[in-house]
Amino acid sequence: MSSNRIPFFFCHNLAAPVTLGLSLAVALPAAGATDAAVTAINKLGVDLLHQVGKPDANTLISPYSIQSALAMAYAGADGATRTEMARVLHYPNDGAALDRSFAELRESLKELVQASEERARRERGYGVTNDPVIFAVANRLFGQSGYDFREPFQALMKDTYAAPFEALDFVKNPGAAARHINGWVEAQTMQRIRNLIPESALNDLTRLVLVNALYLKAHWVEPFQDSATKPGPFHVKGGMITEVPMMMQRHELPYAEGDSFAALELLLGYDHLRFLILLPKRVDGLASVEGGLSSDVIAGKLKWEERDVTLYLPRFKLEPPTLPLGAALQALGMKSAFDIPRGSANFGRIAPRRPPDYLSISDVFHKTFLNLDEKGVEAAAATALHFGTWGIHEPAKPVEMRVDHPFLFAILHAPSGACLLLGRVTDPR
């Protein structure tokens, strides 16, 4: 085989019906076991939002999905490749601590589901029917049958990332392997993410595809009433006005203001999840707000106060095409992992590095879906890495928040502050 690199794919997938309610009444936790993962997730989310898509276009990414996938790849990196990945992905020097942090975050998300199920059972005893949060995360390694993968790496993936190994034959039938992986992703995301990996992306040099799939479904704590939804104006891309279905509710909600934006949080899923809205104060102010965005703002670290808020929020659905992230990650400085310059990729912890037969990342594919309406939000995302050879306040005045122009939003895991989904809406139609 005249190969100098072995392809390796990494896939992560997130599907999540989410509700519109979030509240900062729930304080963020103190420094703890999940901090390393949460910091990396939120910081890379901001970095990539600046890199991907056009500034005036709808955009949706899942920082949790992307980082969950990249963390598994990082566990197999060594030498300068590992150092470079750590810098770009905001990882600490202690790799073992990072692995534990992602495992703890996954456990925290599982506890969210368990607590939600228990609360739903109790409420049913009082004749109240509320659906519990559904949040399922699955990891898997799809590797070339007979390839010399290191046992310690496979054990780490299985024991720490709950990612069992499944052998496929990329050499003889890469198209069938791609269809098999895509079918697994579809099953994990309730068919919301289809054809994550193009069949042409895999070939006889592919050796490994790392996959993380996630599905989330949650109800609004304070649902919107269908009868309150009316046509309302929206400044598409900060300019032309068009009518869109505008939902409305009035409640006591956490509200904050920055220099150039107003922020609101809605609780969902028995307050375990938060939906953060960042609305520019100017109709054409999205670029300015996004330019000043930080991981702390995404995590909801603002000066919040409970306010009587009348909220107008458009229904919207985002379903962008598969997004290649390789170029964006390279632009952020992660080049050695992609074998730039040639011969520099080092994933020797995954498999022995024997030039010219060695692993490097060929590309990172990311696909998302989100539908937000009166009942909640349904969202899905998938990421694939292809490795180949090669205090007390005085009562405040009521607030009206009319989300009638481009805005940013995030869906957060309340206990940790981890950003599960991050996006911009410039046209809700």
Amino acid making up residue 187: A
**Among candidate residues 209, 109, 121, the one with its CA nearest the CA of residue 168:** 209
**Among candidate residues 379, 420, 424, the one with its CA nearest the CA of residue 64:** 420
C-alpha 76/C-alpha 388 separation (Å) is 14
Full-prediction pTM beyond 0.85? yes
For the stretch 353-363, what's the b/e string if a residue is b when 16 or more beta carbons lie within 10 angstroms of its beta carbon?
Answer: beeebbbbbbb
- Torsion (CA) 342, 344, 348, 351 in degrees, nearest 10: -10
Give CA separation, 229 vs 283, 371, 372, in Å: 22, 16, 13
E-assigned strand segments in 33-102: 59-61
User: Which residues partner with 134 through β-bridges?
Assistant: 217
**Among candidate residues 72, 97, 69, 58, the one with its CA nearest the CA of residue 12:** 69
8 A C-beta contact, residue 266 and residue 252: no
Amino acid making up residue 324: P
8 A C-beta contact, residue 312 and residue 401: yes
Indicate the helix (H) or strand (E) that contains 117. Answer: helix 95-124
Rounded to a whole number, what is the distance in angstroms from the first to the last CA of the chain?
50
Amino acid making up residue 261: F
What pLDDT, on a 0 to 100 scale, did the predictor assign at position 25?
Answer: 29
Size of the chain in residues: 429
Amino acid making up residue 121: R
Domains located in the chain, CATH noted: 5-220+317-389 (3.30.497.10), 226-314+399-405 (2.30.39.10)
Give CA separation, 389 vs 15, 44, 285, in Å: 31, 26, 45
Which residue positions in the chain have pLDDT lower than 50? Answer: 1-7, 10-31, 391-393
What pLDDT, on a 0 to 100 scale, did the predictor assign at position 16?
Answer: 32
C-alpha 25/C-alpha 418 separation (Å) is 16
8 A C-beta contact, residue 298 and residue 248: no
8 A C-beta contact, residue 77 and residue 347: yes
Residue with tokens 């193009």: 198
What pLDDT, on a 0 to 100 scale, did the predictor assign at position 393?
Answer: 42
CA-only gyration radius of the chain, Å: 22
Give CA separation, 170 vs 139, 142, 146, 200, in Å: 19, 10, 11, 12
Indicate the helix (H) or strand (E) that contains 180. Answer: helix 174-188
C-alpha 198/C-alpha 216 separation (Å) is 24
pLDDT digits 0-9 by tens, 261-291: 999 999 888 778 999 999 999 999 999 999 9
pLDDT digits 0-9 by tens, 229-266: 999 999 999 999 999 999 999 999 999 999 899 999 99
8 A C-beta contact, residue 377 and residue 19: yes
φ, ψ for residue 212, nearest 5 deg:
-125, 125
Bond into 341 cis (ω within 30): yes
φ, ψ for residue 420, nearest 5 deg:
-85, -40
Coil/strand/helix, residue 68: helix
Task: Provide the pairing of β-strand 407-413 with 418-425.
Answer: antiparallel
What pLDDT, on a 0 to 100 scale, did the predictor assign at position 153?
Answer: 96
C-alpha 210/C-alpha 189 separation (Å) is 16
What pLDDT, on a 0 to 100 scale, did the predictor assign at position 10?
Answer: 47
Residue with tokens 């607590």: 115
User: Which residues partner with 261 through β-bridges?
Assistant: 280
What pLDDT, on a 0 to 100 scale, did the predictor assign at position 403?
Answer: 97
What pLDDT, on a 0 to 100 scale, did the predictor assign at position 8?
Answer: 53
E-assigned strand segments in 224-269: 230-235, 241-257, 261-268
Q: Which residues contact 194 (CB under 8 A, 6 or more apart)?
A: 182, 186
Render 337-391 in DSSP notation, one character per residue: GGTSSTT----TTTS--BTTB-EEEEEEEEEEEEEE-SSEEEEEEEEEEEEEE--
What pLDDT, on a 0 to 100 scale, did the predictor assign at position 352?
Answer: 94
